[in-house]
Amino acid sequence: MTKSLNAIAQKLMEPGKGILAADESEGTIGKRFAKINLPNTLDLRRDYREMLFGASEAMRNYISGVILTEETLKQEAADGTPFRAILADTDCVPGIKVDRGAFPMPGEGGEKITEGLDGLRQRLAHYAELGAGFAKWRAVITINDIAPTRNNIRANAHALARYAMLCQEAGIVPIVEPEVVGDGEPGNHSMERCAQVTGDVLENVFKELRLAGVDLAGMLLKPNMILPGINSRERPGFEDVARRTVDVLREHVPAAVPGIAFLSGGQTDEEATAHLSAMNRIPNKPWPLTFSYGRALQNVALRTWAGRRENFAAARQAFAHRAHMNSLAALGEWSNERDRAAA
């Protein structure tokens, strides 16, 4: 079991490839559709995912795995081909988001706790039968004047560990995602505060993972980068963010973890790519670093598609471009000039 879990984790971390996060909930994708004046219908959600997964150049060359929702894991393209078969054709590992969302925690801090452990063992067995090779659970850590509290950090770390243990029991690689969010209220915290909180969160997460008996060689980490809050006046350079992020990870993430796939966390497409590339230019890291982006891979493709199947080719081209740029970043080879030239 350990060997097969590690083999899946290694496949997801194949050099120059990353993970496409296509696990937006119905509500989240509804907000994205609303920005381009589209109704949130089952058929449009299907068409949108079909546009992405059918971008065979991008999927085959730059994407190792795709995080799906339960709806998408079971869904078919317009011609009846299951999405799982389309992903198999490009050798992409299907994954599944298994948490039920982050809900308010009792208290005054505006903190959240992720739910979804009830019935998870049975759901994971079902997802494994459907071919899911990995799963994802996102914990949300808020920074403000009174948050995060010790209780919130510990509760989310404990839930992540219980989820990871159940995944490994089902033969599924857990992606552990503790996200220290930069866009919560008031969002004016410093980069140093983000580093301190992220370090604290990672320390607690790995403590809980060890206590739960999770095999670190059969999991992946999906953390935030070290950034100032969205309303902060700090404007660190790409190299500053890269160096601080790698420093925090070195201090708190065991070398046994097979890889780290970052979330883009409200950054622009280009910022997410530039930060990742700068990190990969830092030598002697114990783990490979790649991307597990949603918005930062899909933004331009979504607008290009605009709900029309006749736009599939152009939208797939836009998606392939961003995927290629992030592939270069995962190798430390991205540059602004290459991005502009390829576009």
pLDDT at 45: 98
Per domain, the residue ranges of the chain are 2-342
| Active-site annotation holder among 222, 251, 333, 337 | 222
pLDDT of 65-74, one tens digit each?
999 999 999 9
Which stretches of 253-294 are DSSP H helices? Answer: 269-280
Distance CA 258, CA 175 (A): 11
Q: Which helix (H) or strand (E) holds 141?
A: strand 134-141
Distance CA 61, CA 18 (A): 10
Which tokens hold the place of 60? 């085959």
Torsion of CA 242, 7, 118, 206, to 10 degrees: -40
pLDDT at 1: 67
Is the pLDDT at 3 greater than 90? The verdict is no
Buried/exposed code over 255-292 (b: 16+ C-beta within 10 A; e: otherwise): eebbbbbbbbbbbebebbbbbbbbbbebeeeebbbbbb
pLDDT of 132-148, one tens digit each?
999 999 999 999 999 99
The CATH number of the structural domain formed by 2-342 is: 3.20.20.70
Question: Stretch 206-211: mean pLDDT, rounded?
Answer: 98
pLDDT of 95-138, one tens digit each?
999 999 999 999 888 999 999 999 999 999 999 999 999 999 99
Residue 222 annotated as catalytic: yes
Question: Stretch 34-38: mean pLDDT, rounded?
Answer: 97
How far from 207 is each of 33, 51, 242, 275, 285, CA to CA, in Å?
Answer: 40, 41, 25, 28, 21
Residue 270 annotated as catalytic: no
pLDDT category at 184 given cuts 50, 70, 90 is: confident
Among 132-141, 176-185, 268-277, 329-338, which is the least confidently predicted range?
176-185
| Active-site annotation holder among 111, 177, 179, 208 | 177
> Considering only CA atoms, which of 257, 115, 83 is closest in space to residue 173?
257
* Average pLDDT of the chain, as a whole number: 97
Distance CA 10, CA 329 (A): 18
pLDDT of 147-166, one tens digit each?
999 999 999 999 999 999 99
